[in-house]
Structure formats: C-alpha cells, structure tokens
Amino acid sequence: MGPGPSDVHPRILSAMARSTIGHLDPAFIGMMEEVKEMLKYAFKTENELTMPISAPGSAGMEACFANLVEPGDKVIVCINGVFGGRMKENVHRLGGEAVVVEDDWGSAVSIDKVERALIDNPDAKIVAFVHAETSTGAISDAKALCQIANQYGCINIVDAVTSLAGSELRVDDWGIDAIYSGSQKCLSAMPGLSPVSFSDRAIEKLTSRKTPVTSWFLDLNLVMGYWGKGAKRAYHHTAPVNTLYGLHESLVMLREEGVENSWNRHQQNHILLRYGLNNLGIDYLVDEADRLPQLNSVLIPQDQDDLEVRSSLMKNFNIDIGAGLGPLEGKIWRIGLMGYTSRKDNIELLLSALKNTL
Ligand SMILES: *Cc1c(COP(=O)(O)O)cnc(C)c1O
C-alpha cells in the first residue's frame, strides 16, 4: 500500500507464467496489436503511436524528452514534487533550456503561473508537467494545462505514471501531445513497462528534428520499426515477452471493468480510507480539491515516530506504506490505493493495523 508497485492480480501473475515465445512469433505480434489497441482505450486516444516502452516509467519519461527536446529548445517545466525535478534534469541533459514554474510540494500546478511563464517566454516550445505527483499526492488540472500550452503554441509532455486508470484522463479530448505511464501503478501489472502515446503534433516535432535523437534505444523512429502499424517487425531489441503478457492481461481486466469504473473505484475507496483516517485523527497534506485518490499523503501525527510506525506495520501486519520524500521526509506517509490494491478489505486491514499500532 505504498506509492507502487501495487499488488499484482493473480490473473496477471498466471498470465506471466506462460511459456516464453519469440518476440517475432506471429502469435506474439498479434498480442502486440491487442496491447496497442487496449492502451488506446486506456488513454482514450486514437493516436497511432501508442505502445509500451520496454523499461519502467522513467524510461517513458526519457523517451518523451529525448525524442521531442532538441538542443536549444526552451521547455517550461512545472515542478511541484520529485518527478517534475526529474523532467528538468532531462531537459538539461538534452541541451534544452528549462524554464521552471514552481509550486509548493502538496499543491497542484498553478495555471496562472504557467500562463505567466508562457507570456514571458514566447519562444518556448514545450510545456511539461506531472498529472499525478506521487511524491506529494496532488493532482493537477491536465486539461487546463494542455489548453493553455496549446493556446500559446506549445506542445505538451504529460507524466501520467500514477494517473492512468486511477484518475480521469482523456488524451484526445484534452489535447495531450506526449504522455507516458507505468505498468505497476493503477494498471497493477509487473514493474518494467512504460506505455506512451504521441499525437500527430508531437510526431511532427519529432520528424522535423534537425539533430538525430541522442538515445539509440529510445529513438521512436527505430522503435516504430518493431512496434509500428504495418512495420516490418524488424528486430530492435528482445521484447520483455512475459512482462508484456502481464500488461496484456491487466488491460483485458481494465476493459472488463471499464476505465471510467476504474476511476470511480479509486475515488470511492479513497473516500472510505479518508473517513477511517479522519476517525483516527489523521489529516491529509493536500487540499481536498487537489487530492489524488490513489495516493493518500497524510500528516504523521505529532506524537508518532515515522520509522517506528512503518516498521511495525510491516513486521506485524505485512503492510508496506510509503515514506515522505525530500522536504516531506518524516512529515507524511504515502498510502497507495492503486489498481488491485484499491480494495475495501485492504482499507479495513490498514485502518485496524494503524489503530493498533498508533
Ligand atoms: C513511479 C513514477 C515514475 C517513475 O516510474 P518508474 O517505473 O519507477 O521508473 C515517474 N513519474 C511518476 C509520477 C511516478 O509516480
């Protein structure tokens, strides 16, 4: 019940235990097509370039930046937690110029500050932000942020590692250009895959680059030779076959549940947890309107020792909750209700364990 990986459903575990077949096997190629179609469903997009990168969420982040940022490009990077900081680091390493818009850890990204940065930097090309900040438990208004970026002629890069399947997310309706997620959060599959999706505008920026993408492995021009529609399925790298079985099964399950129902389940279980925590006298870090249902960051009660409580939960109840990061270390706990972990019985167990421990 931490910030991920979430519990993996037994159906997904058994899908992963099936025999490993070749990554060029026709049966496997058929499964790849299904994975792409189901990812489009999960992202709510018709983007042709929608597929999983063969590496964790951080690689999806790097794929978006490495393909879209050229040396000298000005990128507005919103930082309200750990992951925005990593976006800035990506921009720097690619020779881009990061214009940072900062908000407090625990707050949503301020639309007004982003608009100010866009006015002050008319040469900016990209706006990058984290939809669901797992380090703080705050959600930002992705729809409004993309709208404002588009209005000022910028494309956008969106981190949806924790939001996909857990919070409302509409890639096409909201005008998202490049988005990356992870397999191990609200999709409840094994860690190690990063679904990404690129709009036509993002592909245009990619194909009009003056310089080659500096990463060979993440160069989408090459990756698409294996994953692309009508591609020759040329060998690029050995796909993580069994991990993809797992993602496939998790997407089948998402489709069975319905993605909107999955958003609702995360919200309902968040309310249930919040009610129980409030009864124990535990408050949230984030304002009610900006709270992530799948990552509950709560203030550690004054009279409690962070490490002692977490160790006791682990030792006595086999429950893992997350610690605070950076400036929030020792101040908050991060309780994850992601994917298969987002269940009533887990909440009841945690609440009684916490009551006992405190
Ligand atoms: C977990 C996470 C990542 C990184 O994903 P990994 O799979 O750990 O590489 C990036 N961004 C956010 C918001 C995350 O929660």
Residues 110-161: tens digit of each pLDDT: 999 999 999 999 999 999 999 999 999 999 999 999 999 999 999 999 999 9
Distance 167 CA to ligand 1 centre (A): 16
What mean pLDDT is predicted for residues 93-105?
A: 98
The predicted-structure confidence for 210-260, as pLDDT tens digits, reads as follows 999 999 999 999 998 888 877 788 889 999 999 999 999 999 999 999 999
Alpha helices in 20-154 (DSSP H): 26-43, 57-68, 82-93, 111-120, 142-151
Q: Counting atoms of ligand 1 from 1, which one is nearest the CA of 135?
A: 15
The four Cα atoms 101, 102, 107, 110 give a dihedral, to 10 degrees, of -30
In the structure, which protein residues have their CB atom closer than 6 angstroms to any atom of ligand 1? 4, 56-58, 61, 83, 130, 134, 159, 161-162, 182, 191
pTM: 0.98
Domain topology for 259-357: Aspartate Aminotransferase, domain 1 (3.90.1150)
What mean pLDDT is predicted for residues 170-196?
A: 98
Nearest alpha-carbon partner for 165 in 132, 208, 118? 132
The residue count for the chain: 358
Identify the pLDDT of residue 233. Answer: 84
Nearest alpha-carbon partner for 39 in 168, 197, 204, 205? 197
Ranges of each domain in the chain: 18-255, 259-357
What mean pLDDT is predicted for residues 68-87?
A: 98
Distance 47 CA to ligand 1 centre (A): 22
The predicted-structure confidence for 291-332, as pLDDT tens digits, reads as follows 999 999 999 999 999 999 999 999 999 999 999 999 999 999
Select the CATH number that applies to the domain covering 18-255 from these four: 3.40.640.10, 2.40.50.140, 3.40.50.880, 3.40.50.970: 3.40.640.10
Identify the pLDDT of residue 225. Answer: 85
Three-point CA angle 5, 143, 8, nearest 5°: 15
- Ligand 1, pocket-test mutation among 88, 161, 188, most atoms within 8 A of CB: 161
What mean pLDDT is predicted for residues 13-29?
A: 95
Smallest CA separation from ligand 1 atom 14, residue:
161
